[in-house]
Structure 1
Amino acid sequence: MTATVFIDGEVGTTGLQIRERLIGRNDIRLLSLPDDRRKDAAARADALASADVAILCLPDDAAREAVTLVEGAGTRLIDASTAHRIAPGWVFGFPEMASGQRAAVAKAARVSNPGCYSTCAIALLRPLRDAGLLARDAQLSIFGISGYTGGGKSMIAEYESGAATGSFVYATGQTHKHLPEIVKHADLATSPIFVPSVGQFAQGMVVQVPLFTEAAPATLHAALADHYAGSQFVTVRPLDVSVAREEPAGLNGTNRLELSILGDAASGRLVLSAVLDNLGKGASGAAVQNLNLMLGLDEAAGL
């Protein structure tokens, strides 16, 4: 039977990308509201209640409101906002995160889509925590750079109009919205120092975590490789602690996430590195992957 899907907020950056990945599929029927009814609460409530799965591409408060609109309707939800990423009763939508996570997503009524930075950080850290190679109370720093599309329509307009030029660092007060989910889902006791930045390019992301460690690079690499063995979308590059460049745009247009161990093996100064498309595995691609799992479809459909 064809599943019915409603994207609440389909004209935003993430919503448009999800729609693009779903529009040509014959195993899904997309519900849509006319432009003049997209902010009509009654029309939205009807569409939400009519869907088998609704994908919320909304600001946090609007996403919370949307959840109340489907109470008792039986609609399953994927929330692309920050609102429910550490909330009780919601499954974190990173299927590759840990053993059993894919099955949990598949049967969930409520799935929270991860943030782009947090997907990278958790992908690097959680396997090392699970393997006993990283202390839960480790003092960590995370650095990252994303394309300006990660800032949504307003930031895209700034760059494409020429009003914004160059790169910048932000969230300097250590209150970035992805930090709580990184702490919870990477199984950390304390919040890392997080230094995110925006580059003067549209799409792509690199996230890096420096480590002083006595563990050999090969040991860390083996833990990552074992964790993601057989994954369709997460790959661990062959161990080569020195590469010329990490390119943020290297995986653009895909739902892939690529992990590396870099640095100086002799001194134990290593860097965990992750690359993805911030609009792919970092947002819309991940939502479609989760949708496929929830509907019992090919996990890679539309991706």
Structure 2
Amino acid sequence: MLLQTEKLKHTDSGLFFLLAGPCVIEGENMALNIAETIVKITDRLHIPYVFKGSYRKANRSRIDSFTGIGDEKALKILRKVGETFNIPVVTDIHSAEEARMAAEYADILQIPAFLSRQTDLLVAAAETGRVVNIKKGQFLSPGAMKFAVQKVIDAGNKKVAITERGTTFGYQDLLVDFRGIPEMKSFGYPVILDVTHSLQQPNQTSGVTGGMPQLIETIARAGIATGADGLFMETHPEPEKAKSDGANMLRLDLLEGLLVRLTAIRETINKFDK
């Protein structure tokens, strides 16, 4: 099951699709270079690819945390990435007022996990006609996501996807309940596993979110094995220098090897499912 956007290539490959890119747009060259690298990899592996980049990060631990380079500037970069490589792009929106603006530049509007119950935001995203990717709140059960999905459908848009990104466990950790993937798939819409955000360690005393990137492959393999339709990963050439969420990002030069191994797992599963 794929996202309903005409720009996706390799849709007959039988593999998972991939949403990947930097946490936040830091500049044009950085975005284009990351996209070019991933496009080459996903074309070789026949993986449908969506470039991910937030034009602004509204949910920050501290007021001095980096939020972006300016909305219009970042959105124009997102559009340039999409046009340069003829691929769809996805970005977060944070308020109903942002939905129409972002829809002028992005193919997929993503609802952040903390905002997944915000009716006005979901309806505004739906009314743009774009694909709406709803991240499951860290505080919600998988079953509760059917109500978020229904809000988008009731607003006249059936182009919906759901993203699992972990559930709050204590104050400073997240866990992925992989039972939720088949449960959410039963709603009839694509289910994505956000691999890197599932490995965040929020609420650190430093005010900077931590992470466990050494477990990226473990979580990704489990997601493929349990039937995730797509994977979401944030990646950067130098995560230690990234301006947002570097602690849980995948280093860009590790992406190809990981995708090769994940592709082999999905191909094996497909053989047994026939």
TM-score range (shorter-chain normalised) is 0.3 to 0.5
Larger radius of gyration: 1
Structure 1 or 2: more helix by fraction: 2
TM-score, normalised by the number of residues in structure 2 = 0.32
TM-score, normalised by the number of residues in structure 1 = 0.30
